[in-house]
Structure 1
Amino acid sequence: MPTTESVITDRIYAGVAVIAAVLTFVESPEPLWTIGAVLVALVPWALVATRRDPPAWLFLALAVLPVVAVVIVNDLGVVIFMTTAAASRFACRAEDRRAVLVVTVAVAVVPFIPALLGSSHPNGAGYFAFGDVFGVLVGVVLRRGDRLAARLREADNRLAEAKQLQERQRIARDVHDLVAHSLTVVVLHVGGARRLLRTDPEAAEAALADAERVCRESLDGIRGVVGLLRDTESSSSGLSLDLDALIGTYRTAGVDVRLTTTGDPAELPLGTRVTLYRVVQESMANAARYAPPGSAVTADVAVAPDEAACRIVNDRGAGAGRSGGFGLAGLREQVASADGVLTSGPEGDRWVVLCRLPVQQVSAVGVGGGA
């Protein structure tokens, strides 16, 4: 389907052909058959201007052969520029280089036809021939410009698709982090409530109440993530970034967590704060899931003017390091996109997660983080 640019280019070419025809009528009003031949040469241009483009070779034959007849009888004149416009337009649309070369040679020979037939001297024929060749070169340049524009549009579409895929992956990580953390805490609360149901109903009820609260907070957070899909401009996702509150959910669930904070995480840029929170959240979920029952977890968070760091350590259980899906592996991508470093692995009988984030270079990532 012709593009808007190609339609405009065709109409410009048609305009050049019409101007050349009018000037021919002014220059050589007689004989009448000359007018008829020029009008026939305008027929393919009329079809092009009305978007009823004939086949390329038919267009070229109808646009050039009547002009050649006029040149043979009336000698060189303005009418020759009709062949220039036709050849240039053909080169602008043709895919076959050999066809373009054949047309170039043909239109370059047209100005010399009267001299070859002995009806005139070749004075001026060289200038007209050069004009025809130059017109073909203009068509070739326009053709390459159209191809480049098409490639740029294709590349732009691919970039848009890649951006959408990256956004979907980011949202998937956010949803995973919310659900994994919340379900881990809920399972711990429900498990504790089941054990206390007969011996201490009040404690069991309190544990179930905490599980319900965590579920509600998780739902609020998920609504915030889903809100990103609706292009909401609110920077709030309904999820708190308070590390003390995060650790508190595990403590109330029976996990022995020792949090040490140096500096104030609330003063961090939003992107750094969100990424740091995500690392602590995922690390705590893994520790609660895989660490031996009753073992302690230490979380050290340090905030400096140029760097934020956290170190989470827990005893190694049977499943330590088996976090899959969008767990620590997904967080490594988040941290790397912020020019940070995230490592995790065994140190003796302990499992250690260490994250370092440059404060000034972190882009906002995650829920509420923006781009």
Structure 2
Amino acid sequence: MQGSEPGGPRRLERLWAVPVVLGALAGAVASWNSPPALVLIAVALVPWAVAGTRRTLPEWLAAVLAVGPPVVVTVLVDLNAVEFLVTSALSQFVGRRAGRGRVALAAVVGAAAPFVPAAVGWPFNEGAVYFAIGNLLAIVVGLLLAHTRTLAAELREVDARLTAARAQEDRTRLARDVHDLVAHSLTVVVLQIGGARRILRTDVDAAETALSQAELVCRESLDGVRDVVGLLRTDGDEPTRSWSLDHLVATYRDAGVEVSLVVDTDVEALPVLARGTLFRVVQEALANAARYRLPGTPVRVRIADDDGVLVGTVENERPLDGPVPSTGGYGLPGLREQVERAGGTVVSGPDGDSWLVACRLPVVADHSGAAIR
């Protein structure tokens, strides 16, 4: 028969070599006194031999060669074990493509072939009934084989799509991580350098301190980017990052941004997923607030536990006619996807004269006294 793709379905097909070989040997023994029958048995083995070399014959030719000669053998020497060649061929024929027409044709041939000897004058052999039932059962096996082949192809396709989706997710996560690191750091650096430029002529020491702080933030950002890029080269755990809100807020305070931080829950006791997600939201919101807030006004950060739901808000006064934070790219929209994967929500937008970013994450955290830093 025709060659097929490697894998499970092909291994199942190879099982038919057993009845083919046994049927050919038994048929040859029963037909030993009929040289034409022996030749026909050899011809019937040709499609199987070709399939064993992973070459292909035209499907119609393979079917005719596999089924026709054994039927003629039963006409010459009566019904015998050579009928197993027909059984195997029908199963393979249906197993290639299980169309209704193919199944119907195989069923007709399988049911009729064992009765051909009786039709041409040989005494009726009750074994024909058993062979007919066996042929129909073999067709059912062929249908299962076709279904297995279809499922295998679908699984390969799904696996390929999942692999592509995982690769896209990894690229998106990497882009989002780099964006978050760089956006926060560059915001702080711009503030530090801007402050240093304004006081450079009047207070050299303060300007030098601001520039030193900007350099430190740049180095921390560079280390963070290296950690993120390092994920592309290792299958290990994600590099440990500092999720300290105190440190995050301190970098903005050092840059001249007034930030108040109120924590009404034990952040250190939060699950890693909730703590990391909360930190990323506050980090992005602070970067936007530092850029778009009304000059000279504070930024207010509050973390609380609302009956098992972690709530984080970042609020700042906004100029009524000034620019608003971007809604594209990998900023808050990207974080929204991350928060939703954690089962939470994040919203951002105007709230009266303020701009508010509010995040809610479903986690149970231990309560602690309010800490204002």
TM-score (norm 1): 0.91
The 1:232/1:85 distance shift into structure 2, 3 A limit, reads: closer
Give the deviation of 1:157 after TM superposition.
Answer: 2.1
8 Å Cα contact 1:263/1:304 also seen in 2: no
Are residues 1:351 and 2:345 paired? no
The 1:199/1:169 distance shift into structure 2, 3 A limit, reads: same
Supply the distance in 1 between the matched residues of 2:7 and 2:155 (Cα, whole angstroms): 16
Give the deviation of 1:160 after TM superposition.
Answer: 2.4
What does residue 66 of structure 2 align with? 63
Matches within 5 A, 1:79-228: 79-94=82-97, 96-121=99-124, 123-228=126-231
What does residue 272 of structure 1 align with? 274
What does residue 258 of structure 2 align with? 256
What does residue 295 of structure 2 align with? 293
Runs of at least 5 residues in structure 2 that lack an aligned partner in the other structure: 366-373
262-271 or 299-308, larger mean C-alpha shift? 299-308
Task: Give the paired residue count.
Answer: 360
Give the deviation of 1:324 after TM superposition.
Answer: 3.1
String of CA shifts for 1:75-119, please: whole Å, max 9, x gaps: 111111111111111111136532342233123222222222223
81-90 or 151-160, larger mean C-alpha shift? 151-160
Runs of at least 5 residues in structure 1 that lack an aligned partner in the other structure: 362-371
Supply the distance in 2 between the matched residues of 1:37 and 1:165 (Cα, whole angstroms): 58
Give the deviation of 1:267 after TM superposition.
Answer: 2.0
Supply the distance in 1 between the matched residues of 2:364 and 2:291 (Cα, whole angstroms): 34
Supply the distance in 1 between the matched residues of 2:20 and 2:147 (Cα, whole angstroms): 23
TM-score (norm 2): 0.90
Supply the distance in 2 between the matched residues of 1:221 and 1:209 (Cα, whole angstroms): 18
String of CA shifts for 1:254-296, please: whole Å, max 9, x gaps: 1111112223322222211111111111111111100111111
The 1:221/1:305 distance shift into structure 2, 3 A limit, reads: farther
Are residues 1:45 and 2:17 paired? no
Supply the distance in 2 between the matched residues of 1:50 and 1:360 (Cα, whole angstroms): 64
Supply the distance in 1 between the matched residues of 2:126 and 2:236 (Cα, whole angstroms): 72
Supply the distance in 2 between the matched residues of 1:305 and 1:4 (Cα, whole angstroms): 54
Give the deviation of 1:234 after TM superposition.
Answer: 4.2
Give the deviation of 1:247 after TM superposition.
Answer: 0.7
The 1:332/1:75 distance shift into structure 2, 3 A limit, reads: same
Supply the distance in 2 between the matched residues of 1:152 and 1:7 (Cα, whole angstroms): 16
Match of 1:72 among 67, 72, 75: 75
8 Å Cα contact 1:194/1:204 also seen in 2: yes
Letter in 2 for 1:357: L
Q: C-alpha root-mean-square deviation of aligned residues, in Å?
A: 2.0
Q: Identity of paired residues, percent?
A: 47
